[in-house]
Amino acid sequence: MKWFRIAVRALALLAIIAFGYFLVTFLQVWRAARADDRRPSQAIVVLGAAQYNGRATPVLRARLDHAADLYREKVAPMVVVTGGKQPGDRFTEATVGADYLHSRGVPESAILRETTSRSSWESLQAASRFLRARHITRVVLVSDPFHSLRIRLIASELGLDPVTSPTRTSPIRGLEEWRRFFTESLRVMAGRILGFGRLARRVGR
């Protein structure tokens, strides 16, 4: 019975520590979502989102609109769009994103495409390769607010010098947004423990 009580207390302590860690991480994810750390940089990197038959979804448009605004404000001279194809797609997210940015006045010469990825890690990993080959490390990352902390940590792990500037016009609101905060907090927790690259290889996100 003595060992049983010790085991129960140890498990209870671990549960309290894990819950505390989650609360701290959730607060960090929430604070990162509210911050806009834009600064003069070498490139703006837009995380991809779904497209439908060559048309950007509202989520993707919100990210691209914000990136176009940052470009016009001369935050950086280059925009990197990311995202490959999902099974059955005819267009990549990056191609759709590039076309949309061009329609918003961003010159073709100022757009770089990363067209192979299917996850945030893959997008940033591939983008970091060709950016660092051009001696570009100072970047502004654009995505939805709840995504900010995780993509900044991933980019840092990949050797970039990132800040985040999330869109404020995302259609993801209400309960769905809070669900994303919850899952992002869990992913940040796991990524900090395992490493974001190792986590991505295990879960594919």
Identify the domain containing residue 147 by its residue range.
32-203
User: How does pLDDT run across 52-62, given as a tens digit for each residue?
Assistant: 989 999 999 99
Q: Is residue 11 part of a domain?
A: no
- What is the model's pLDDT at position 79? 98
Q: Is residue 161 part of a domain?
A: yes
- What is the model's pLDDT at position 190? 95
- Number of domains within the chain: 1
The list of the chain residues with pLDDT below 70 reads 203-205
139 within 8 A of 41, measured Cβ to Cβ: yes
What's the pTM? 0.93
Q: Is residue 186 part of a domain?
A: yes
- What is the model's pLDDT at position 97? 97
Q: Is residue 93 part of a domain?
A: yes
CATH code, domain carrying 160:
3.40.50.620
Q: Which of 30, 4, 38 is nearest to 164 (CA)?
A: 38
Q: Is residue 19 part of a domain?
A: no
Q: Is residue 17 part of a domain?
A: no
Q: Is residue 169 part of a domain?
A: yes
Where are any strands of DSSP class E within the chain?
43-46, 51-52, 55-56, 79-82, 111-114, 138-142, 161-164
Q: Is residue 104 part of a domain?
A: yes
